[in-house]
Amino acid sequence: MVPPELVFGCGHTPHDLNNHVPTSECVPRAKLCAWTATWRDMLLRGELRVDRLVVVAGGDCHNALVDGQRVAHSGIPTHYFFYPFDGNEGEMRDHLVSLEAFLGGITDQAALDGVADIKDLCIQLDMARCRRQVLGSRVFNHLIQLCDLGGDPERFGASVKRALEDRPSDVPDIRIGLVGVPPIYPDFHEVCESFGMQVVFDELPWEFARMGGRTLTTMARNYAGYTFARDLEYRFDALERELGRRRVDGIVHYTQYACHHVLEDDMLRERLDLPMLTVQGDLPRICPEQERLRLEAFAELLRGGGP
């Protein structure tokens, strides 16, 4: 993720291209992972317009580096943002400083603080779902937007507060942890809920909420702990802690076709001692029938439907 507080603090409006992918009808031409290929082609075809592009080119995604360069080739000013593999805070700070320079320097500390306040609220929202006070789908739809806050922090903050205040009439009782990259299917959480499973943990959106800061130094400290960019042991330790704290009944490991994170599936299974279902998506679309079947069967299993 690109730190949104820094983009707002430098007087710009971030726009997370990934958020356009699940509902996009763009069919990318040459692709490995559909996430990066879709935003790449949407930019190249002019279906999305940006003034500058910041690509997370080291840390959590390898495909983005190449697809980002394809876009840079078309003339859009592009910056490559990196996360250190070893969690080195000094190096993290250097990357933040170089991003700040690309964006013209921090000019609006209030905007930066505003994002930090909203992230604090989002952490509350994230935990409220564990107490069954809010539906997992509603939490996910907010947390996933933390990369750009919908371009309008005020409106987004109000929406988070409403989600915290409202009480759903019914919350599914099976508790699921969703591990891996976010599903490319826009209705994935709702489908889980329709089978009686509440997603109480979304790995990447959880990172979006907990990383942040009000100064470059605190940001460097927090972002250096981005588990997706670190070695697998570090990430698995964090996962074990979070999944235990949230008392999940089972794990859904979402994997994306042609993403290197697919290779982590066996290691996750060895490490996490919980029932696990692996789902793989490719192109963005409504959750396909076969994935629904897997989820329904998993729900039956967790409910004790096995003899």
Partner 1 sequence: MIGLDLGSTRAKLVRVVDGEVEFRSEVISPRWRELLDMVEAGESIATTGYFRHQVDGAEAITELTAARWGIRRLVPDAEVIVDIGGQDTKVQDLRTNRFVLNDKCSAGTGAFLEMVANYFDLGVEDLAAVASEAREPAKINSTCAVFAMSEMVSQLGGGASQADVVAGMHHSFAHRIAELVPEAERIVLVGGGARNGGLVSELSSILEVDLHVPDHPAFVNALGAMEYMTSSSPKV
Dist. CA 128–CA 169, nearest whole Å: 14
Stretch that binds partner 1, among 6-14, 25-33, 151-159, 296-304 (CB under 8 A): 296-304
- Contact between residue 280 and residue 256 where contact means Cβ atoms under 8 Å apart: yes
Q: Which is nearer to partner 1, 20 or 294 (CB)?
A: 294
Query: What backbone phi and psi angles, to 5 degrees, belong to 122?
Result: -65, -35
Closest CA to 26 of 39, 7, 10: 39
Mutual orientation of helices 63-73 and 34-44 as an angle, nearest 10°?
10
Backbone angles phi, psi at 259, to 5 degrees: -105, 140
CA atoms within 13 A on the CB side of 33: 26
Measured between alpha carbons, how far is residue 201 from residues 124, 263, 290 in Å? 13, 21, 23
Give the per-residue contact string, 166-185, with ligand SF4 (x = CB under 6 A; - = no): ---------------x----
Considering only residues 7 through 66, tell me which ones interact with partner 1, judged by CB under 8 A.
none
CA–CA dist 249, 123 (Å, integer)? 21
List CB contacts of 248: < 8 A, sequence separation 6 or more: 175, 176, 177, 200, 201, 274
Q: How far is the CB of 248 from partner 1 (least distance, A)?
A: 15
Query: Which option in ligand SF4, partner 1, none does residue 168 bind, with CB closer than 5 to 8 A by kind?
Result: none
Nearer to partner 1, 46 or 304 (CB): 304
254 binds ligand SF4, rule: CB under 6 A: no
Three-state secondary structure call for residue 177: strand
User: Could you tell me how many residues of this chain bind ligand SF4 (CB under 6 A)?
Assistant: 11
Contact between 223 and 116 under an 8 Å Cβ cutoff? The reply is no
Q: Which residue has the tokens 């997603």?
A: 199
Structure tokens at 169: 């009439």
User: Quick one: 66 or 274, whose CB is closer to partner 1?
Assistant: 274
- Binding flag, residue 259, ligand SF4 (CB under 6 A): yes
64 part of the interface to ligand SF4, by CB under 6 A: yes
Report if residue 273 touches partner 1, rule: CB under 8 A.
Answer: no
- Asked if 270 touches partner 1 (CB under 8 A), the answer is no
Decide which of ligand SF4, partner 1, none touches 301; Cβ closer than 5 to 8 Å per partner kind. Answer: partner 1
Look up residue 249 and give its amino acid: D
Residues 158-187 contacting partner 1, CB under 8 A: none
Out of 256, 279, 284, 299, the only residue in the binding site for ligand SF4 (CB under 6 A) is: 256
Q: Is 266 in the site for partner 1 (CB under 8 A)?
A: no
Among 147, 261, 281, 298, binds ligand SF4 (CB under 6 A): 261
304 binds, among partner 1, ligand SF4, none (CB under 5 to 8 A by kind): partner 1
Ranges of H-type helices in 74-152: 89-102, 109-128, 136-143
- Per-residue contact string for residues 187-216; x = within reach of partner 1 by CB under 8 A: ---------x--------------------
Q: Using CB under 6 A, which of 63, 137, 222, 280 touches ligand SF4?
A: 63
CA distance 224 to 167: 35
Contact residues for ligand SF4, defined by CB under 6 A: 33, 35-36, 60-61, 63-64, 181, 256, 259, 261
Contact residues for partner 1, defined by CB under 8 A: 196, 275-276, 290, 293-294, 296-297, 299-301, 303-307
